[in-house]
Amino acid sequence: MTAIHTRASALTIRAGRRAIERVREQGLRPEDVHVIPGAAGGPKALGLSGLDKAIFGDWLPGAPQERSLIGASIGSWRFAAVASGDPREQLAQLAELYTTQRFAKGVSAAEVSRKSVLFLDTLLKGREETILNHPYYRLNIMVVRSRGLLEHDSKGRLSLGLMNAISANMVSRRHLGRFMERGIVHDSRLRAPVAKLVDFPSHHVALTPDNLMPALLASASIPLVMAGVRNIPGAPEGVYRDGGLLDYHLDLPFEQPGVVLYPHFTDRIIPGWFDKSLPWRRGSATGLQDVLLVAPSQEYLASLPNRKLPDRKDFERYVNDDAGREKAWRCAIAESDRLGDEFMELVATGKIREVLRPLNGPVK
Protein backbone atom coordinates (compact mmCIF):
# COMPACT_ATOMS: atom_id res chain seq x y z
CA MET A 1 0.00 0.00 0.00
CA THR A 2 1.30 3.44 -0.90
CA ALA A 3 2.08 5.55 2.14
CA ILE A 4 0.01 8.69 2.59
CA HIS A 5 2.13 11.69 3.52
CA THR A 6 0.55 14.66 5.31
CA ARG A 7 2.20 17.99 5.79
CA ALA A 8 3.27 18.71 9.35
CA SER A 9 1.27 21.31 11.23
CA ALA A 10 2.62 24.84 10.79
CA LEU A 11 1.20 26.06 14.10
CA THR A 12 1.52 25.38 17.79
CA ILE A 13 -1.48 26.49 19.88
CA ARG A 14 -1.03 26.96 23.62
CA ALA A 15 -3.42 28.48 26.12
CA GLY A 16 -3.93 29.39 29.76
CA ARG A 17 -6.38 27.52 31.96
CA ARG A 18 -9.50 29.60 31.36
CA ALA A 19 -8.79 29.95 27.65
CA ILE A 20 -8.46 26.17 27.27
CA GLU A 21 -11.78 25.60 29.03
CA ARG A 22 -13.54 28.26 26.97
CA VAL A 23 -12.22 27.17 23.57
CA ARG A 24 -12.77 23.45 24.21
CA GLU A 25 -16.36 24.25 25.11
CA GLN A 26 -17.28 26.62 22.27
CA GLY A 27 -14.40 26.93 19.85
CA LEU A 28 -12.89 30.31 19.00
CA ARG A 29 -14.90 33.09 17.39
CA PRO A 30 -13.71 36.59 16.51
CA GLU A 31 -16.26 38.11 18.90
CA ASP A 32 -14.50 36.28 21.77
CA VAL A 33 -11.36 38.37 21.27
CA HIS A 34 -10.98 41.82 22.88
CA VAL A 35 -7.19 42.00 23.38
CA ILE A 36 -4.22 41.16 21.11
CA PRO A 37 -0.65 41.43 22.51
CA GLY A 38 2.46 41.86 20.37
CA ALA A 39 5.92 40.95 21.66
CA ALA A 40 9.25 42.64 21.12
CA GLY A 41 11.58 40.67 18.86
CA GLY A 42 12.60 42.78 15.87
CA PRO A 43 12.70 40.91 12.53
CA LYS A 44 11.10 37.79 14.04
CA ALA A 45 7.79 39.58 13.60
CA LEU A 46 8.26 39.47 9.82
CA GLY A 47 7.85 35.71 10.07
CA LEU A 48 4.31 36.27 11.42
CA SER A 49 3.25 38.51 8.55
CA GLY A 50 0.90 35.98 6.96
CA LEU A 51 -0.66 35.10 10.31
CA ASP A 52 -1.22 38.79 11.10
CA LYS A 53 -2.79 39.36 7.70
CA ALA A 54 -5.24 36.50 8.21
CA ILE A 55 -6.19 37.59 11.73
CA PHE A 56 -6.50 41.33 11.09
CA GLY A 57 -7.38 41.30 7.41
CA ASP A 58 -9.84 38.40 7.26
CA TRP A 59 -10.92 37.02 10.63
CA LEU A 60 -11.43 39.86 13.12
CA PRO A 61 -13.34 42.08 10.65
CA GLY A 62 -16.05 39.41 10.76
CA ALA A 63 -16.98 40.69 14.23
CA PRO A 64 -16.18 44.41 14.42
CA GLN A 65 -15.90 45.60 18.02
CA GLU A 66 -13.64 47.60 20.31
CA ARG A 67 -10.29 45.80 20.78
CA SER A 68 -7.08 46.67 22.61
CA LEU A 69 -3.81 46.15 20.73
CA ILE A 70 -0.93 46.20 23.21
CA GLY A 71 2.64 45.90 21.98
CA ALA A 72 6.26 46.44 22.85
CA SER A 73 8.87 47.40 20.26
CA ILE A 74 8.07 45.76 16.89
CA GLY A 75 4.78 44.60 18.43
CA SER A 76 3.65 48.21 18.73
CA TRP A 77 4.82 48.93 15.17
CA ARG A 78 2.81 45.96 13.83
CA PHE A 79 -0.32 47.20 15.54
CA ALA A 80 0.17 50.81 14.49
CA ALA A 81 0.37 49.49 10.92
CA VAL A 82 -2.82 47.46 11.41
CA ALA A 83 -4.72 50.50 12.73
CA SER A 84 -3.37 52.90 10.07
CA GLY A 85 -5.28 51.63 7.05
CA ASP A 86 -5.90 48.38 5.20
CA PRO A 87 -4.22 45.80 7.48
CA ARG A 88 -2.98 43.59 4.65
CA GLU A 89 -1.44 46.47 2.73
CA GLN A 90 0.13 48.11 5.76
CA LEU A 91 1.55 44.87 7.15
CA ALA A 92 3.07 44.11 3.74
CA GLN A 93 4.56 47.61 3.69
CA LEU A 94 6.03 47.14 7.18
CA ALA A 95 7.63 43.83 6.17
CA GLU A 96 9.11 45.33 3.00
CA LEU A 97 10.48 48.42 4.78
CA TYR A 98 12.10 46.28 7.46
CA THR A 99 13.55 43.82 4.94
CA THR A 100 15.15 46.53 2.81
CA GLN A 101 16.90 48.25 5.72
CA ARG A 102 20.67 48.20 5.26
CA PHE A 103 23.27 49.21 7.85
CA ALA A 104 27.00 49.62 7.44
CA LYS A 105 29.22 47.65 9.83
CA GLY A 106 29.77 49.66 12.99
CA VAL A 107 26.78 51.94 12.34
CA SER A 108 26.14 54.43 15.16
CA ALA A 109 23.08 54.40 17.41
CA ALA A 110 22.23 57.89 16.16
CA GLU A 111 22.19 56.66 12.56
CA VAL A 112 19.97 53.67 13.40
CA SER A 113 17.57 56.05 15.17
CA ARG A 114 17.58 58.39 12.17
CA LYS A 115 16.72 55.55 9.80
CA SER A 116 14.03 54.32 12.20
CA VAL A 117 12.38 57.75 12.12
CA LEU A 118 12.37 57.59 8.32
CA PHE A 119 10.91 54.07 8.52
CA LEU A 120 8.01 55.22 10.71
CA ASP A 121 7.44 58.32 8.60
CA THR A 122 7.19 56.23 5.44
CA LEU A 123 4.87 53.69 7.08
CA LEU A 124 2.63 56.00 9.09
CA LYS A 125 3.16 59.68 8.24
CA GLY A 126 -0.18 61.32 7.55
CA ARG A 127 -2.03 58.36 9.07
CA GLU A 128 -1.83 59.47 12.71
CA GLU A 129 -5.48 60.54 12.90
CA THR A 130 -6.56 57.24 11.34
CA ILE A 131 -4.81 55.36 14.16
CA LEU A 132 -6.12 57.64 16.91
CA ASN A 133 -9.68 57.61 15.57
CA HIS A 134 -9.90 53.98 14.46
CA PRO A 135 -13.46 52.78 15.04
CA TYR A 136 -12.42 49.51 16.66
CA TYR A 137 -8.72 49.30 17.52
CA ARG A 138 -7.25 50.96 20.62
CA LEU A 139 -3.45 51.11 20.50
CA ASN A 140 -1.31 50.62 23.64
CA ILE A 141 2.44 51.23 23.32
CA MET A 142 4.83 49.84 25.95
CA VAL A 143 7.92 51.92 26.80
CA VAL A 144 10.37 52.13 29.70
CA ARG A 145 11.59 55.29 31.42
CA SER A 146 15.30 55.00 32.17
CA ARG A 147 16.77 55.61 35.63
CA GLY A 148 20.34 56.14 36.79
CA LEU A 149 23.07 55.24 34.32
CA LEU A 150 20.48 54.06 31.80
CA GLU A 151 19.54 57.70 31.25
CA HIS A 152 22.82 58.24 29.41
CA ASP A 153 23.55 57.45 25.76
CA SER A 154 27.33 57.52 26.18
CA LYS A 155 28.51 53.98 25.50
CA GLY A 156 30.55 53.66 28.71
CA ARG A 157 27.88 54.79 31.17
CA LEU A 158 25.06 53.01 29.38
CA SER A 159 27.04 49.74 29.17
CA LEU A 160 27.81 49.90 32.89
CA GLY A 161 24.16 50.59 33.66
CA LEU A 162 23.09 47.60 31.56
CA MET A 163 25.61 45.32 33.28
CA ASN A 164 24.28 46.43 36.66
CA ALA A 165 20.70 45.81 35.55
CA ILE A 166 21.56 42.34 34.21
CA SER A 167 23.27 41.42 37.50
CA ALA A 168 20.34 42.69 39.56
CA ASN A 169 17.87 40.79 37.37
CA MET A 170 19.79 37.56 37.94
CA VAL A 171 19.02 37.92 41.67
CA SER A 172 15.38 38.89 41.20
CA ARG A 173 13.38 40.45 38.40
CA ARG A 174 11.85 42.96 40.83
CA HIS A 175 15.25 44.65 41.22
CA LEU A 176 14.90 46.05 37.69
CA GLY A 177 12.68 48.71 39.26
CA ARG A 178 15.88 50.48 40.35
CA PHE A 179 16.83 50.96 36.70
CA MET A 180 13.61 51.59 34.83
CA GLU A 181 9.90 52.33 35.06
CA ARG A 182 7.11 51.02 32.85
CA GLY A 183 5.08 53.36 30.69
CA ILE A 184 1.91 52.56 28.73
CA VAL A 185 1.03 55.17 26.13
CA HIS A 186 -2.54 54.24 25.28
CA ASP A 187 -5.67 55.30 23.45
CA SER A 188 -7.62 57.36 26.00
CA ARG A 189 -10.96 56.02 24.72
CA LEU A 190 -10.34 52.78 26.61
CA ARG A 191 -8.30 51.95 29.69
CA ALA A 192 -5.25 49.76 29.19
CA PRO A 193 -6.28 46.07 29.23
CA VAL A 194 -4.35 45.16 32.38
CA ALA A 195 -5.11 45.00 36.09
CA LYS A 196 -3.32 47.35 38.49
CA LEU A 197 0.42 46.93 37.94
CA VAL A 198 2.39 46.49 41.17
CA ASP A 199 5.56 44.71 39.99
CA PHE A 200 7.32 47.90 38.83
CA PRO A 201 6.70 51.65 39.03
CA SER A 202 4.28 52.21 36.16
CA HIS A 203 2.49 55.15 34.60
CA HIS A 204 -0.18 55.60 31.97
CA VAL A 205 -0.05 58.31 29.31
CA ALA A 206 -2.83 59.31 26.91
CA LEU A 207 -1.94 58.74 23.25
CA THR A 208 -2.05 61.96 21.19
CA PRO A 209 -0.97 63.15 17.74
CA ASP A 210 2.09 64.71 19.41
CA ASN A 211 3.36 61.60 21.19
CA LEU A 212 2.33 58.77 18.84
CA MET A 213 5.53 58.74 16.75
CA PRO A 214 7.93 59.46 19.68
CA ALA A 215 6.31 56.65 21.69
CA LEU A 216 6.62 54.19 18.81
CA LEU A 217 10.26 55.15 18.30
CA ALA A 218 11.00 54.85 22.04
CA SER A 219 9.25 51.47 22.25
CA ALA A 220 11.81 50.01 19.80
CA SER A 221 14.90 51.93 21.00
CA ILE A 222 17.21 49.11 22.07
CA PRO A 223 20.02 50.42 24.30
CA LEU A 224 23.37 50.74 22.49
CA VAL A 225 21.63 50.01 19.17
CA MET A 226 19.46 53.14 19.10
CA ALA A 227 19.50 56.40 21.02
CA GLY A 228 16.97 56.91 23.79
CA VAL A 229 13.98 59.19 23.19
CA ARG A 230 13.93 62.18 25.54
CA ASN A 231 10.72 63.61 26.99
CA ILE A 232 7.78 61.93 25.24
CA PRO A 233 5.05 64.63 25.12
CA GLY A 234 2.58 64.15 27.98
CA ALA A 235 4.78 61.62 29.81
CA PRO A 236 7.01 62.22 32.87
CA GLU A 237 10.30 63.81 31.84
CA GLY A 238 13.12 61.41 31.11
CA VAL A 239 14.80 59.16 28.57
CA TYR A 240 12.58 56.41 27.15
CA ARG A 241 13.72 53.11 25.67
CA ASP A 242 12.55 49.76 24.34
CA GLY A 243 9.41 48.52 26.07
CA GLY A 244 10.71 44.97 25.75
CA LEU A 245 13.35 45.61 28.42
CA LEU A 246 10.66 45.07 31.06
CA ASP A 247 7.89 43.50 28.97
CA TYR A 248 9.62 41.40 26.32
CA HIS A 249 6.70 39.01 25.77
CA LEU A 250 4.11 40.98 27.75
CA ASP A 251 3.82 38.80 30.83
CA LEU A 252 1.06 41.05 32.16
CA PRO A 253 -2.09 40.57 34.28
CA PHE A 254 -4.51 40.93 31.40
CA GLU A 255 -7.97 42.11 32.39
CA GLN A 256 -10.67 41.84 29.73
CA PRO A 257 -13.74 39.89 28.67
CA GLY A 258 -13.10 36.75 26.66
CA VAL A 259 -9.87 35.50 25.14
CA VAL A 260 -6.52 37.26 24.75
CA LEU A 261 -5.40 36.17 21.26
CA TYR A 262 -1.62 36.23 21.06
CA PRO A 263 0.05 35.72 17.66
CA HIS A 264 3.63 35.07 18.78
CA PHE A 265 6.90 33.87 17.30
CA THR A 266 7.56 31.28 20.01
CA ASP A 267 5.40 29.10 22.26
CA ARG A 268 7.08 30.38 25.42
CA ILE A 269 6.41 33.60 27.37
CA ILE A 270 9.66 35.26 28.52
CA PRO A 271 8.90 38.12 30.95
CA GLY A 272 11.75 40.56 30.21
CA TRP A 273 14.58 41.10 27.73
CA PHE A 274 17.19 40.15 30.34
CA ASP A 275 15.38 36.84 30.98
CA LYS A 276 16.15 35.35 27.57
CA SER A 277 19.00 33.24 28.96
CA LEU A 278 17.14 32.32 32.17
CA PRO A 279 14.94 29.30 31.39
CA TRP A 280 13.39 29.34 34.87
CA ARG A 281 11.82 32.75 34.20
CA ARG A 282 8.43 31.96 32.78
CA GLY A 283 5.11 33.73 32.38
CA SER A 284 2.62 33.99 35.23
CA ALA A 285 -0.05 31.28 35.01
CA THR A 286 -2.49 33.57 36.83
CA GLY A 287 -2.01 36.64 34.66
CA LEU A 288 -2.01 34.64 31.42
CA GLN A 289 -4.92 32.28 32.07
CA ASP A 290 -7.07 33.87 29.33
CA VAL A 291 -4.26 33.87 26.74
CA LEU A 292 -4.46 31.76 23.60
CA LEU A 293 -1.01 31.79 22.00
CA VAL A 294 -0.56 30.97 18.30
CA ALA A 295 3.04 30.33 17.22
CA PRO A 296 4.99 28.63 14.41
CA SER A 297 5.69 24.95 15.06
CA GLN A 298 9.18 23.49 15.19
CA GLU A 299 8.47 21.58 11.98
CA TYR A 300 7.49 24.79 10.24
CA LEU A 301 10.60 26.62 11.47
CA ALA A 302 12.78 23.78 10.16
CA SER A 303 11.40 24.41 6.66
CA LEU A 304 12.57 28.06 6.57
CA PRO A 305 15.91 29.45 5.37
CA ASN A 306 18.47 28.82 8.13
CA ARG A 307 15.73 26.79 9.89
CA LYS A 308 14.45 29.84 11.79
CA LEU A 309 12.54 33.10 11.59
CA PRO A 310 14.43 36.24 10.55
CA ASP A 311 16.32 37.83 13.44
CA ARG A 312 18.82 40.62 14.12
CA LYS A 313 21.77 38.25 13.96
CA ASP A 314 21.09 37.93 10.25
CA PHE A 315 22.65 41.36 9.78
CA GLU A 316 25.90 39.71 10.95
CA ARG A 317 25.29 36.36 9.24
CA TYR A 318 24.84 38.11 5.90
CA VAL A 319 27.40 40.86 6.39
CA ASN A 320 28.29 42.25 2.94
CA ASP A 321 25.45 40.19 1.48
CA ASP A 322 22.29 42.24 1.96
CA ALA A 323 20.77 40.66 -1.14
CA GLY A 324 21.16 37.21 0.43
CA ARG A 325 19.56 38.34 3.68
CA GLU A 326 16.68 39.99 1.86
CA LYS A 327 16.07 36.84 -0.18
CA ALA A 328 15.95 34.69 2.98
CA TRP A 329 13.64 37.12 4.74
CA ARG A 330 11.27 37.41 1.79
CA CYS A 331 11.07 33.62 1.66
CA ALA A 332 10.11 33.51 5.36
CA ILE A 333 7.53 36.26 4.83
CA ALA A 334 5.98 34.42 1.87
CA GLU A 335 5.92 31.11 3.74
CA SER A 336 4.10 32.75 6.66
CA ASP A 337 0.90 32.70 4.60
CA ARG A 338 0.79 29.03 5.62
CA LEU A 339 0.43 30.14 9.24
CA GLY A 340 -2.53 32.32 8.38
CA ASP A 341 -4.18 29.65 6.23
CA GLU A 342 -3.86 27.04 8.97
CA PHE A 343 -5.22 29.39 11.64
CA MET A 344 -8.27 30.16 9.50
CA GLU A 345 -8.88 26.45 8.92
CA LEU A 346 -8.55 25.59 12.63
CA VAL A 347 -11.08 28.20 13.75
CA ALA A 348 -13.49 27.55 10.86
CA THR A 349 -13.61 23.78 11.42
CA GLY A 350 -13.40 23.86 15.22
CA LYS A 351 -10.28 21.69 15.11
CA ILE A 352 -8.52 24.27 17.25
CA ARG A 353 -10.11 22.43 20.21
CA GLU A 354 -8.07 19.33 19.37
CA VAL A 355 -4.66 20.98 19.12
CA LEU A 356 -4.70 23.10 22.29
CA ARG A 357 -1.86 22.54 24.75
CA PRO A 358 -1.20 24.25 28.11
CA LEU A 359 0.81 27.47 28.18
CA ASN A 360 4.05 27.55 30.17
CA GLY A 361 3.68 27.61 33.94
CA PRO A 362 4.53 30.14 36.66
CA VAL A 363 7.89 31.69 37.51
CA LYS A 364 9.96 29.47 39.79
- The pLDDT assigned to 5 comes to 44
Q: In this predicted structure, what is the pLDDT of residue 361?
A: 44
- What tens digit of pLDDT does each residue of 348-364 get? 999 999 999 999 643 33
Q: At what angle do helices 74-83 and 87-99 cross, to 10 degrees?
A: 140
State which residues of the chain have pLDDT below 70. 1-6, 360-364
Concatenating the DSSP letter of every residue in 4-45 gives PP-PPPSEEEEE-HHHHHHHHHH---GGGEEEEEE---GGGG
Residue pLDDT, tens place only, 263-298: 999 999 999 999 999 999 999 988 999 999 999 999
Please give the pLDDT value at position 120. 98
pLDDT number for residue 362: 39
pLDDT of residue 285: 87
pTM: 0.96
pLDDT at 6: 56
End-to-end CA distance of the chain: 51
pLDDT of residue 360: 67
Instruction: Tell me how far apart the alpha carbons of residues 335 and 328 are, in angstroms, rounded to a whole number.
Output: 11
Q: What is the pLDDT of residue 7?
A: 72
Q: Bridge-partner residues for 357, per DSSP?
A: 14
Helix 337-349 / helix 322-335 crossing angle, nearest 10 deg: 10
Q: Note the pLDDT of residue 48.
A: 98
Q: What pLDDT score does 119 carry?
A: 98
